[in-house]
Amino acid sequence: MISLSNQELLDTNITDFIIPSEKVAHVQVGNSLEHALLLLTKSGYSSIPVLDPRFHFQGLISSSLITDSILGLERFEFEQLELKKVEEVMTTDFPTVSLESKFKEAIELLVDHPFLCVISENGYFEGILTRRVVLKHFQRHMYKMS
């Protein structure tokens, strides 16, 4: 059974837990796969957002999508890295949340996704909500309850 305080937690707005866009590693539409792979490698993240020049969210790019896209029949075609653009390879098949979203919705989505992109009404990229931040908040809540 869910107690009142647990219900309050589930009804909490996600806004205060967002990592803001300026702190999120990202690439822009038009960037080459080589640039994206460099950024992914340097940042240590396995997947990052793709934005347009006006900071509108377009998709996600990951190291595995990149390596898969340059895999030929017998070898990796590394020369493709500078020829292909991120928008040719990024995925658009994932859920996003809004500034109005609550923890309950976010938790359900974070089961299958390590982070969620937070998008405003006009498609502007506000930042991300990560599993780590949500789990940390839950941990704090658990200790307070015990």
Applying CB under 6 A, the residues found at the interface with ligand 2BA are: 19, 23-25, 43-48, 114-115, 128, 130-132
Indicate the residue among 104 and 132 with the shorter CB distance to ligand 2BA. Answer: 132
Shortest Cβ 57–ligand 2BA spacing (Å): 13
Q: Which is nearer to ligand 2BA, 12 or 47 (CB)?
A: 47
Token representation of residue 97 = 């949340």
Q: How far apart (Å, rounded) are the C-alpha atoms in residues 71 and 78?
A: 9
| Residue 58 Cβ vs ligand 2BA, minimum distance, rounded to whole Å | 15
**Could you tell me if 21 and 118 are in contact, meaning their C-beta atoms sit under 8 angstroms apart?**
no
Instruction: Give whichever of 5 and 139 is closer to ligand 2BA, judged by the CB atom.
Output: 139
Report the alpha-carbon distance of residue 129 to residue 108 in Å, rounded.
13
Quote the least distance from Cβ 25 to ligand 2BA, whole Å. 4
Q: Are strands 115-119 and 96-97 parallel, antiparallel or unpaired?
A: parallel
Nearest distance from C-beta of residue 92 to ligand 2BA, angstroms: 16
Question: Do 134 and 17 meet the contact criterion of CB atoms below 8 Å apart?
Answer: yes
Report how far residue 35's alpha carbon sits from residue 16's, in angstroms, rounded to the nearest whole number: 31
Is 47 or 120 the residue whose CB approaches ligand 2BA more closely? 47
